[in-house]
Amino acid sequence: MQKKIFEELFENYLQRNHSEAEEQKLMELIRNGEYDDIIKEKIHIMLKEKTGSEVMGDEQSAYILRCILSEPNSNREVIKLEPEKRNRKKVVRILFAAASIIALIALGNSLFFKPKTSLMTPVIEKPVIAENTSIDFSGKQLIRLPDGSTVLLNDNSTLKYDQDSFDAKTREVTLTGEAFFDIKRNEEKPFIVHTGKVQTRVLGTAFNINTHNSSGNIEVTVARGKVQVGDDEKIYGIITPNQQIKVNKNTLSFAQSNISAAVVTEWKSNYLILDDINMEEAIALISQKYKVQISLANEKIKNCRITASFLNDEDLDHVLKVISSVIETEYRYNKAGTIILEGKGCE
């Protein structure tokens, strides 16, 4: 019922057939973040049909964008589908795909849909300024790189790469802080992580790098596969699962040891990452994290896929509300405390 109300409010807004009270209600629902998927789909259709500029003007699109980017009253995390960039430090709880599309429409309106003029305007040559092609991420988030690799960035950490050169001959990123890497294997294009003078080189593996620790070392720990650690002049060592190399940032002295990768990466247990998985896998992760039992009223729900990141210790009900909104289900608790998911499911 609430979803239908939102769709009607949004459609009235696009048609400019709404009251002030209806507009306030719509923007409140947008800030809550539960209907970003609907917004994304609606605007995607508008762009596909090339009607975006006719339906939504600069002011409307910019207004909705500001509402999506504003801090919700509940201060709760919403699904993240796209990476967060450093120049938007306060934007930590948005569905970035929807916001990006709305911003694109606003930009498109201003650049491509203005009326043409018959007067010739003088051409003024401007100095060529080198374009910055670096993409920066900051703060805890799940990052999906262009090659399909993923990086789980810890709090107070940054990651950046050059979008023009990444995945050309090599795949290179620069890390400050701590992150867990899960790298897609590509023997022709090594993946290299720069941390100061130290380079961690892999083909395809999962590993943790921490540059923020009390010892002042750079710590590289392998969870899966094989990793080479060194600098421009020499290789410090090649490590395999449950091994670690510590490198002194100043002297570049190093030491290799055996260690439990699970202990090193325990910080990840605070996060719930559902990275394009089916609901059967998602239910297992949710049940394990929150120590609850979840049952399906319809087995077809297992086939639905979900991509979501919960990085701020969200409570169980918030997680279930977000997931239910995305895959169009409802949940309830039975007398035994078991959570029941109900819905039409997916083929």
Cβ burial of 132 (10 Å; 0-12, 13-18, 19+) is exposed
User: Domain-by-domain residue ranges, the chain?
Assistant: 2-112, 134-266, 271-343
The SS3 of residue 321 is: helix
Q: Give the pLDDT score at 47.
A: 55
Q: Which residue has the tokens 């916001």?
A: 99
The answer to whether 68 and 303 have CB atoms below 8 angstroms apart is no
The SS3 of residue 227 is: strand
Q: 148-172 burial, b if ≥16 CB within 10 A, otherwise e?
A: ebbbbbbeebebbbeeeebbeeebb
The answer to whether 145 and 137 have CB atoms below 8 angstroms apart is no
Classify domain 271-343 at the CATH topology level: Phage tail protein beta-alpha-beta fold (3.55.50)
Phi, psi of 258 (to 5 degrees): -90, 140
Q: What are the mean pLDDT values of the chain's consecutive 10-residue runs (347 residues total)?
A: 73 73 75 70 61 52 54 42 41 39 41 41 58 87 93 95 93 97 94 96 94 88 96 94 95 95 92 92 94 94 92 92 93 94 92
Phi, psi of 190 (to 5 degrees): -60, 150
Classify domain 134-266 at the CATH topology level: Jelly Rolls (2.60.120)
Q: Give the pLDDT score at 28.
A: 75
User: How far apart (Å, rounded) are the C-alpha atoms in residues 154 and 176?
Assistant: 10
This prediction has a pTM of: 0.59
Q: Give the pLDDT score at 7.
A: 77
Length in residues, the chain: 347
Residue 156 sits at the vertex; the CA angle it makes with 153 and 157, to the nearest 5 degrees, is: 45
User: How far apart (Å, rounded) are the C-alpha atoms in residues 326 and 43?
Assistant: 17
Q: Which residue has the tokens 């294009």?
A: 189
Q: What is the CB neighbour count within 10 angstroms for residue 189?
A: 17
Q: Percent helix, strand, coil in the chain (nearest 5)?
A: 35, 30, 40
The answer to whether 324 and 331 have CB atoms below 8 angstroms apart is yes
Q: Give the pLDDT score at 56.
A: 53
Q: 92-104 burial, b if ≥16 CB within 10 A, otherwise e?
A: bbbbbbbbebbbe
Q: Transcribe 143-194 into DSSP letters.
A: EE-TTS-EEEEPTT-EEEEETTTTTSS-EEEEEESEEEEEPPP-TTS-EEEE
Q: Give the pLDDT score at 203.
A: 87
Q: Give the pLDDT score at 66.
A: 53
Q: Which residue has the tokens 């762009």?
A: 47
Q: Give the pLDDT score at 125.
A: 59
Q: Transcribe 263-278 into DSSP letters.
A: HHTGGGGG-EEEEEEE
Which strand (E) or helix (H) includes residue 245?
strand 243-248
